[in-house]
Each structure stands twice: as C-alpha cells, then as structure tokens.
C-alpha cells in the first residue's frame, strides 16, 4: 500500500466512499491518472483497517497479476502448493465463506473486463483509469477528478504553512494548474525546496508553459476528462526534474526517472536501479564510477520533489511513480528511448533470480517486464530479448499455464512482425507457446505445434542445434502424454544420442532427457533398465547439480519408485522415507513434490505389508 501523500486532504469523494463501503457495497473509483484515486483508497484502508479481520491490497495491473496475488495469499493462509490458477479460484471460494469483516482493494485496474471470473465477493474497492467504468455495470462507480476550489486552497495552505506571502499566489497557482492534485504536489514541492511563495512558482511555471507551445496537451490519452491535466503536470515535471538533476549526485535524477518511466508505475524493486547494469549505464552517462549509494541519494531527491514514492524503512524498498509523470517523461525521451529501454530490459533480466523462491519479487519483476513491453509496443529489438522469454516461462512455472500459452502466442506475433518467421526468437516463442499448451492440458495442440516448430528449426538452425534438440525432447514427451508410448522411448534415445554428442553427458538438458528416457522405459514395462539408468543419472546429477538440487531429489524419488516396481518394495520404502525428509528440509513442507512422495511412500508401505499390489 502506498504511503500517505504529504498534506493529504480529505475530499468529498472520500466521505461518500466510506459510507458505501461501510454499507457492504463494492465501489470503483474511476478517473484519470494523478487524480488521487489510490490515495483515497489508501486513506480509507488506514481509517477502517482496525475494524477488519482481513485487508488485501492488490496491484491489479493485469489479470495475471491478480491471479498471482490471490494465489500467494491462499498459499500463505493454507499452505497450498498447487498452481496459481487453481489457488486463485480456491481463494475466491475461501473468501465467499470468510467473515464479512474484510476489504479487498484492486488498485489500478487497466480494464475491468480483465477481472471476469476473478471479482471477489464484496466488499471490494477498485481504482481504474478506464473511461467507461460506469457503462460496464456491476459495482457502484465514483468519479474522482480535480480538487474543488476550497480543497486546492487547503492543500496549498497545508503545504506552505504560515508563509505570509501565501494568499497572494495560492488561488491563481491552483487555477493555472487546473487544481490537479498531482500538479499541485509537484509545483509546491519545488516552491518549498526553493523557499519560493506560490506567486513566484506561479509566474515562472506559467512562462515555462507558454514557451512549451502547448505541446504537453498531447501527452495524455485521457484528454476527454480534464484537458488541462497533462499540460499542468508537464510544466510541474519540467521544474521538478530540472531541480533534482542539479542536486548531488549531479545528473543522476533525470536518467533514473527516465528508466522508471518505462517500468511498472505501481512498484519497481529498488534492486533494479542499483543493479550492475544500471550502475554501468549511469557511470557511462556521468563519465565516472557510480555506486548504489549515489543512486539511493538521487532517488531520495526525486522523492523530496514528489516525482516518485518510496518508503526507505520498508523491507522491499519498492519505488512507485505516477503513470502520468511516466507519460510526460517518456514523451521527452525521443531517440534515447531505445537506449533506456535496453538498459531497463537488461537490468530486469540481470536481477531475476535463478531460483524463484521470493514470490513477491518475481511477481514484481513480471509486472515490470510487462510494463516495459507495453510501453515499447513493437520495438524490434524487444523481440529476441531473453527477458521476455524469462517472464513468460516464469508465468507458466507459477501455475498459470494457460496464461503463459496466451503470452507466447502474443510474443510470436510480435517477433514475427519484428524479425520474421524464421528468426530464432520467433521459433522459440512458438516452441514455448506449444509447451505451455501441453501443460495447460491441450496435449493435441502441443504435439501438432511442436511438430511444425521442430521441422522449421531443423531447416533454419539444423537438427542438432540446442534449440532443435529441446523441441525434439518436448515433442517426444508430449507424444508420450498423448498415448503414443510405442514411439517415445526410441525418440528420446535418438535425442539423447545427439545431446551427448553436442552438449555432453552432464549438460542440464542432457540430464533431463536421461531422466525422462529412464522414466519412460519403466512406464513401458522395463523397470530394471529404468533402475540402472537412474542410478547412473543420479551420480552425474550429484556431481553437476549437487545432492539437494530439486532435480536430484526428483531422480532419487523416481529411482526408489522403480526399484519397487522391479521387485524391491523394501528398498522403495527406505529410500522414499529418506527423500521425504530431504524434500521437507530443502523445499518446505507444502511443496507439491512432497505430496507425491507421501502418496508413493504410503503405497509402497502397503505393498510391503501385502495390502496393495505394485
């Protein structure tokens, strides 16, 4: 939840909002960016949270983000370790039966239609910039716009305090900035830092506005709401950024704000801005070495001028910025857009953890990758950047397989348009789309599309190219899932032969194929060979990955299982018990693999006792 804005002003919309929510109604706050919708929502939460059993604040910038947030809460509440799609629906069911003393906040909903099937049982408070929110039906809609005359005056009076020069400039400054909350916050922050009364801020700001020739009025897609909005915010931004850039460390504020303009407004991990990629870029801009402390100092300056928000005492140190400020800054990038965008993509990819154990961080990184892609549209270089593939696969690995399949279908269109049908990036997007279709249960589609991708990769890249080998492996896997058992062992054996020649016996992809081949040998009736091959694989995995790697633990589990099928139920029970202890220690008690191990351990104990058959 965002911090309270300096000198937050109670508004008429806030009183009406509190009345509706107290009556158990769901409400949508609708209005342009910078109107103060999120601040009104946060103020309500602070006032009523003491009377509630559950308050959930969700950054609802996409359907995938909402699913991920609901799934994370359900996992925290129940320990559920299944996929995100299932967990999100279970959370909604849980909410329906939970006490009524609760409030769910869905902040910054881009399109209310995205929440079909995800709208929680009330009361719910949502904020959106969608212009036709009222026409969509459903919850009560409150429109939030500019300050009233008295509200604007009270805000500026609170900001400037007892300055005797205040009355002379307050009213005109407010009117010339459209009484727009964000514009007034930016302009008053500059005035406070320069120790200038409103009149002087007003005069200098108006001259800058005239010199801009009205150009800022084209920056906002929401001109139908308040035509002076972007103009006012653009002027105030120009003053603020210029001032921040002159503070120590000189020249750092503007490039950092430009970087932030391409990321997710509702939350950017600080580690992105202090990554080696960004420090190197800032060093090149400044012509000297730049460290993380200087970045934090520059962020602090931007925060003092209300250009962004960060709670330095919070553990996550997330940075937030208004979407309207982002739009104004992006419009000034010009030819620098490509350079800054590549820095943003490289930085996000650089800080993405190999093991996605920090769910909140990974969700934030996915949201920022989505924002970068949205802001860039069809920029050609984006098509093959590894960030986009990492974000899509992360989505699928979180349990949103169907969403990942849709993601890669969209990415395929982008890459085909940008770099052509035979580019490796396009072929990889097609492969990943097919793979996640299979994981979503659409096995026939997965097989059909992988067959086409495999043929195109073999022609464009060669049959032994690592990408082609991966597709051949997954094609064999999904053919097996489709019931073509007679072919899968032979196909995997052929893939393995080529991987051994190209990648070597201990490459991660080779190890995966060796595991799947042994498993399918067992599934097709050759349990003894499965045991022999899994024993050999286990030695190589311990050497290459370590004894506690999840893949090594999975191999130990399957080795125990096939030993049981080969006739040694006692060995299966002994080893599965050891694997279970290690999985609980390494993966946590609610990991899905642990449930599978528990099931198999019980089964083989029953076999050993004569109560079940292998």
pLDDT value at residue 600: 94
Query: Does 34 share its domain with 121?
Result: yes
pLDDT at 275: 96
Mean local confidence (pLDDT), 444-461 = 95
Residue 196 has what pLDDT?
Answer: 55
In this structure, the answer to whether residues 94 and 157 fall within a common structural domain is no
Count of domains for the chain: 2
How does pLDDT run across 39-71, given as a tens digit for each residue?
Answer: 999 988 888 888 888 889 999 988 999 999 999
114 and 234 co-located in one domain: no
- Averaged pLDDT of the chain: 85
Residues 6+ apart with CB under 8 A from 201: 169, 173, 187, 188, 190, 191, 194, 239
pLDDT > 70: percent of the chain = 90
Specify the pLDDT at position 19. Answer: 86
Nearest to 51 by CA among 22, 15, 29: 22
- Strands 102-109, 124-128: parallel, antiparallel or unpaired by DSSP? parallel
Position 81 scores a pLDDT of: 74
Give me the pLDDT at residue 169, please.
60
Query: What is the model's pLDDT at position 540?
Result: 95
Q: Which residue has the higher pLDDT, 185 or 563?
A: 563
126 & 176 share domain: no
**Domain co-membership, 166 together with 105:** no
In a domain, 420, yes or no: no
Average pLDDT over residues 275-290: 95
- Asked whether residue 61 falls in the same domain as residue 128, the answer is yes
Pair (157, 228) in one structural domain: yes
Cβ atoms within 10 Å, residue 213: 8
139 and 165 in a single domain? The answer is: no
What's the pLDDT band for 173 if we cut at 50, 70, 90? confident
For residues 142 and 109, is the Cβ–Cβ distance under 8 A?
A: no
Last residue of a domain, one of 143, 177, 209: 143
For residue 437, tell me if it sits in a domain: no
pLDDT recorded at residue 168: 54
Alpha helices in 177-197 (DSSP H): 181-194
Q: What is the reported pLDDT for 149?
A: 82
pLDDT higher than threshold 80 for residue 1: no
Domain of 159?
149-244
103 and 22 in a common domain: yes
Confidence band, pLDDT 50/70/90 cuts, at residue 136: low
pLDDT in tens, 254-282: 999 999 999 999 899 999 999 999 999 99
More confident site: 515 or 158: 515
Least confident of 230-244, 350-364, 413-427, 474-488: 230-244
Q: Is the dihedral of CA 369, 374, 375, 381 positive or negative?
A: positive
Which residue blocks in 420-442 are alpha helix, DSSP H? 424-439
Pick from 157-166, 360-369, 415-424, 587-596: least confident? 157-166
Q: Which of 190, 219, 244 lies at the terminal end of a domain, its last residue?
A: 244
Does one domain contain both 77 and 127?
Answer: yes
Given a cut of 80, whether residue 204 has pLDDT beyond it is no
506, 537 in Cβ contact below 8 A? no
Average pLDDT over residues 223-249: 70
Percent of the chain predicted with pLDDT > 90: 48
Among 205, 221, 244, the domain boundary falls at 244
pTM of structure: 0.82
Position 106 scores a pLDDT of 94
> Considering the domain boundaries, does residue 59 fall inside one?
yes
Beta carbons within 10 angstroms of residue 164's beta carbon: 7
- 82 in any annotated domain: yes
Average pLDDT over residues 361-368: 93
Question: Which residues make beta-bridge pairs with 56?
Answer: 104
Q: Band of the pLDDT at 383, cuts 50, 70, 90?
A: low
Sheet with 54-59, strands from edge to edge, namely 54-59, 102-109, 124-128, 27-30, 140-143
């Amino acid at each position: 939840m965002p911090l309270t804005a300096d000198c937050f002003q109670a508004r008429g919309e806030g009183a009406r909002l509190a009345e509706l929510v107290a009556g158990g109604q769901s409400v949508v706050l609708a209005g342009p960016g910078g109107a103060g919708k999120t601040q009104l929502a946060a103020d309500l939460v602070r006032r009523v949270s003491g009377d509630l059993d559950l308050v959930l604040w969700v950054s609802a910038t996409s359907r995938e983000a909402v699913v991920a947030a609901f799934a994370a809460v359900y996992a925290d509440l129940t320990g559920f370790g299944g996929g995100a799609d299932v967990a999100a629906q279970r959370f909604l069911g849980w909410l329906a039966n939970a006490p009524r003393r609760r409030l769910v906040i869905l902040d910054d909903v881009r399109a209310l239609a995205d929440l079909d099937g995800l709208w929680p049982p009330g009361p719910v408070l949502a904020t959106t910039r969608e212009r036709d929110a009222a026409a969509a039906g459903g919850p009560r809609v409150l429109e939030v716009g500019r300050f009233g005359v008295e509200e604007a005056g009270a805000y500026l009076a609170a900001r400037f305090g007892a300055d005797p020069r205040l009355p002379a400039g307050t009213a005109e400054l407010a009117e010339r900035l459209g009484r727009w909350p964000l514009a007034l916050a930016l302009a008053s922050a500059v005035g406070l830092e320069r120790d200038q009364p409103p009149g002087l801020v007003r005069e200098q700001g108006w001259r800058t506005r005239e010199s801009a020739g009205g150009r800022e009025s084209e920056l906002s897609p929401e001109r139908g709401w308040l035509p002076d909005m972007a103009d006012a915010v653009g002027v105030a931004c120009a003053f603020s950024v210029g001032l921040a850039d002159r503070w120590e460390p000189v020249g750092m504020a503007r490039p950092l704000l430009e970087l932030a303009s391409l990321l997710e407004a509702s939350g950017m991990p600080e580690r992105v801005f202090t990554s080696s990629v960004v420090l190197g870029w800032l060093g090149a801009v400044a012509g000297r070495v730049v460290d993380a402390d200087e970045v934090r100092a520059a962020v602090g300056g931007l925060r003092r001028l209300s250009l962004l928000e960060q709670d330095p005492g919070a553990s996550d140190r997330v940075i937030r910025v208004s979407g309207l400020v982002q739009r104004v800054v992006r419009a000034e990038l010009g030819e620098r857009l490509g350079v800054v965008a590549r820095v943003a993509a490289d930085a996000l990819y650089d800080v993405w953890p190999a093991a996605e154990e920090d769910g909140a961080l990974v969700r934030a990184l996915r949201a920022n990758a989505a924002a970068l892609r949205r802001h860039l549209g069809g920029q050609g270089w984006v098509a093959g950047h590894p960030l986009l593939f990492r974000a899509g696969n992360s989505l699928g690995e979180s349990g949103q397989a169907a969403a990942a399949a849709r993601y890669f279908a969209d990415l395929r269109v982008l890459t085909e348009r940008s770099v052509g049908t035979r580019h490796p990036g396009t072929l990889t997007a097609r492969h990943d789309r097919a793979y996640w279709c299979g994981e979503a249960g659409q096995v026939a589609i997965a097989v059909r599309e992988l067959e086409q991708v495999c043929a195109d990769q073999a022609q464009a890249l060669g049959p032994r190219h690592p990408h082609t080998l991966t597709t051949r492996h997954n094609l064999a896997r999904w053919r097996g899932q489709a019931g073509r058992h007679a072919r899968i062992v032979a196909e995997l054996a052929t893939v393995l032969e080529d991987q051994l020649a190209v990648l070597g016996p201990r490459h991660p992809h080779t190890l995966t194929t060796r595991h799947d081949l042994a498993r399918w040998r067992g599934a097709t009736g050759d349990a003894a060979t499965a045991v022999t091959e899994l024993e050999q694989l286990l030695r190589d995995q311990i050497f290459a990955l370590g004894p506690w790697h999840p893949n090594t633990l999975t191999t130990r589990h399957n080795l125990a299982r096939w030993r049981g099928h080969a006739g040694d139920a006692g060995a299966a029970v002994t080893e599965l018990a050891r694997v279970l202890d290690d999985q609980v220690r390494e993966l946590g008690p609610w990991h899905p693999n642990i449930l599978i191990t528990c099931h198999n351990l019980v089964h083989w104990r029953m076999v050993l006792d004569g109560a079940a058959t292998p």
